[in-house]
C-alpha cells in the first residue's frame, strides 16, 4: 500500500509538471528471459525478515520465527489497546488529554494478562 501510494503521488507530480507519464519506460524489466522469469516467480524469492527465502540458512530460521512471532504479538497488543481506547477518546482530543496515566497503566496491565 505504501509503495502504491508513493507511486500514485509521483505520477500526480509528474502529470502536474506536464510530463507524459504513460510513456515512461520502467527502470527494471523482469521476465524478458525465461531464466529470469523463473527465478523471479519462484517461491524462493519470497521475502522473510528482509531476506529471500531461498538464501536463508537453517541456523537463523528459529531466530526469524521468534522475531516474527514477537512482532505479531506486539501488533496484536497494539490493536487491542487502540480498540479499548477508541470509545474513551473523542475524535478531537488526544489520549493524554482524556485518559489519566494511572488509568492507562491499569489498561496496559489488563490487556497484558
Per residue in 74-95, pLDDT tens? Answer: 999 999 999 999 999 999 999 9
Per residue in 42-73, pLDDT tens? Answer: 788 888 888 888 889 999 999 999 999 999 99
Per-residue pLDDT, 32: 63
Q: How does the average pLDDT of the chain come out, rounded?
A: 85
| Tally of domains in the chain | 1
- Cell 482524556 belongs to 98
Mean pLDDT of all residues in 90-110: 96
Structural domain including 48 reads 2-112
- Percent of the chain whose pLDDT exceeds 90: 50
Amino acid at each position: 500500500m505504501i509503495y502504491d501510494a508513493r507511486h500514485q503521488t509521483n505520477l500526480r507530480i509528474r502529470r502536474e509538471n506536464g510530463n507524459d507519464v504513460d510513456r515512461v519506460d520502467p527502470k527494471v524489466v523482469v521476465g524478458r528471459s525465461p531464466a529470469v522469469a523463473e527465478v523471479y516467480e519462484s517461491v524462493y524469492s519470497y521475502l522473510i525478515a528482509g531476506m529471500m527465502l531461498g538464501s536463508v540458512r537453517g541456523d537463523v530460521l528459529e531466530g526469524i520465527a521468534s522475531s516474527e512471532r514477537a512482532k505479531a504479538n506486539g501488533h496484536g497488543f497494539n490493536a487491542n489497546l487502540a480498540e479499548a481506547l477508541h470509545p474513551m477518546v473523542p475524535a478531537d482530543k488526544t489520549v493524554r488529554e482524556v485518559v489519566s496515566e494511572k488509568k492507562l497503566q491499569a489498561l496496559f496491565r489488563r490487556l497484558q494478562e
